[in-house]
């Protein structure tokens, strides 16, 4: 179910969101994950003292509530206009985009955007698995895989899955309470990112977040080299762990899904996302499986020194993001397609101005947003 969500939701969100708000909308996936982690932490904290099977039956049973709510709400969701256009269902696509956009959005502009989409062939048909490794698609596949790989290899499982055990081994008081604080801090940070990502862009936040992740993990590892740390040093470990979690929630946690939804061309999104998500799941398994052996005796018994390992992978993530991941904020998906087709360099993405149909779709959407924000329904004549 989780794999299905990670594959489908970024595609749906990226196809339905206007370019100017795509970052904010696509980060809501991680926002919901963060909210779920907070609720789970609170439930576990509340049931940890219960006797018998109730202590695990309550948390397990409550997991059935959200899927039921989701199933009840799914029929209310409109289909992706781009998917409908790819199927030749133009009237339904127009109805879907009318439902998705502001109520005062001029119908003429919506119709014109649908005509521009119809003029492109990027949404027509579905590509083969072989195509995701051919031509410019290879670059786009690598970007999607990179985003999902570094979302997991940077050690987030240390905070989300093993933090409580780590705090217990450090003989800290109230480890469950600390984990709840971590979840709250992460949720607040994700919310902040969702509000600023379409202003600051993806690259600056990824680079800053990855740098802070490495910094705090190296501090954690450095303090972990001290034998019999005192109370102050233990507090430094807690702070480093919490701040690493906040830096992760600021950057790689939510923005990996944003990049996943933007990177692949429309006709290959399902296959590209499937591959990137599969690698993410494998990476998650490897990290989660190996962490106990790295942390605990009689194996590697690194304890907090595991920060050196994941601090290094976080530092690598900064270099890789700088070299590979372009800035795609504010662009229609069709404009992103054009830019990849022209093989625009990573650091030229931000300032590039498209003169093709993809750029026209971006301008249509921006004009519609501007008209809606001004409360006016007058449509001006223009040429593309």
Task: For residue 178, give every residue at least 6 positions away whose Cβ sits within 8 Å of its Cβ, in sequence order, or none.
Answer: 163, 164, 167, 172, 238, 242
What span, in angstroms and rounded, lies between the C-alpha atoms of 187 and 242? Answer: 12
141/275 Cα distance (integer angstroms) = 9
Q: Which residues, 6+ apart, have CB-to-CB distance to 349 below 8 Å?
A: 326, 327, 328, 339
What is the third-level CATH fold of 2-76+129-324? Growth Hormone; Chain: A; (1.20.1250)
The pLDDT value given to residue 369 = 56
> In the prediction, which pLDDT does 84 show?
87
Calculate the dihedral angle through the C-alpha atoms of 85, 197, 39, 314, rounding to the nearest 10 degrees: 110
Domain ranges across the chain: 2-76+129-324
Q: State the pLDDT at residue 315.
A: 97
Cβ contact 7:317 at 8 Å: no
At 122, phi and psi to the nearest 5?
-70, -20
Please tell me the predicted confidence (pLDDT) of residue 373: 54
CA atoms of 257 and 2, how far apart (whole Å)? 13
As a whole number of angstroms, the distance between CA 338 and CA 333 comes to 9
| Single pTM value for the model | 0.88
Question: What is the spatial distance between Cα 62 and Cα 70, in angstroms, rounded to a whole number?
Answer: 14
| Residue found under tokens 């998650």 | 284
**Cis omega (within 30 of 0) for bond into 337:** no
Taking Cα atoms as reference points, which of 211, 239, 212, 234 lies closest to residue 223? 234
Looking at residue 125, its pLDDT comes to 62
159, 245 contact by CB (below 8 A): yes
pLDDT tens, N- to C-terminus, the chain (384 residues):
677 788 889 999 998 888 889 999 999 999 988 898 888 888 888 887 888 888 888 888 888 888 898 889 888 889 988 888 888 888 898 888 888 877 666 777 778 777 877 776 555 567 889 999 999 999 999 999 999 999 999 988 888 788 888 888 888 888 888 888 888 999 999 999 999 999 999 999 999 999 999 999 999 999 999 988 998 999 999 999 999 999 999 999 999 999 999 999 888 988 999 999 999 999 999 999 999 899 888 889 898 999 999 999 999 999 999 999 999 999 988 899 999 999 999 999 988 888 778 878 877 776 655 545 555 444 333 433
Q: Residue 366: what pLDDT?
A: 65
């Amino acid at each position: 179910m989780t794999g299905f969500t990670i594959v489908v939701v970024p595609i749906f969100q990226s196809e339905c969101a206007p370019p100017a708000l795509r970052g904010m909308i696509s980060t809501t996936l991680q926002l919901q994950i963060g909210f779920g982690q907070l609720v789970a932490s609170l439930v576990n904290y509340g049931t940890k003292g219960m006797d018998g099977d109730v202590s695990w039956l309550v948390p397990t049973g409550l997991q059935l509530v959200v899927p039921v709510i989701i199933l009840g709400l799914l029929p209310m969701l409109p289909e992706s206009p781009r998917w409908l256009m790819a199927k030749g269902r133009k009237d339904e696509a127009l109805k879907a985009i009318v439902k998705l956009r502001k109520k005062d959005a001029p119908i003429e502009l919506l119709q014109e955007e649908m005509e521009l989409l119809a003029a492109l062939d990027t949404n027509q048909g579905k590509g083969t698995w072989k195509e995701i490794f051919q031509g410019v698609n290879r670059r786009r596949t690598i970007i999607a895989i990179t985003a999902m790989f570094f979302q997991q290899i940077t050690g987030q499982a240390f905070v989300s899955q093993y933090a409580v055990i780590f705090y217990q081994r450090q003989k800290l008081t109230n480890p469950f309470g600390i984990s709840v604080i971590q979840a709250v801090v992460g949720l607040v940070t994700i919310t902040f990112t969702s509000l600023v990502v379409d202003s600051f862009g993806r690259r600056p936040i990824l680079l800053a977040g990855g740098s802070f992740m490495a910094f705090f993990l190296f501090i954690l590892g450095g303090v972990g080299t001290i034998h019999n740390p005192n109370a102050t040093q233990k507090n430094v470990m807690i702070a480093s762990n919490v701040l690493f979690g906040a830096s992760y929630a600021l950057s790689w946690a939510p923005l990996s899904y944003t990049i996943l939804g933007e990177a692949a061309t429309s006709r290959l999104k399902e296959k590209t996302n499937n591959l990137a998500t599969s690698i993410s799941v494998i990476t998650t398994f490897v990290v989660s499986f190996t962490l106990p052996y790295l942390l605990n005796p009689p194996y590697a018994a690194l304890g907090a020194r595991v920060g050196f390992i994941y601090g290094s992978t976080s530092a690598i993530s900064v270099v890789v993001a700088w070299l590979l991941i372009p800035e795609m904020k504010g662009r229609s998906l069709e404009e992103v397609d054009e830019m990849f087709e022209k093989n625009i360099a990573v650091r030229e993405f931000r300032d590039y101005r498209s003169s093709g149909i993809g750029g026209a779709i971006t301008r249509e959407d921006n004009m519609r947003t501007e008209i809606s924000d001004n409360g006016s329904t007058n449509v001006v004549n223009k040429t593309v």
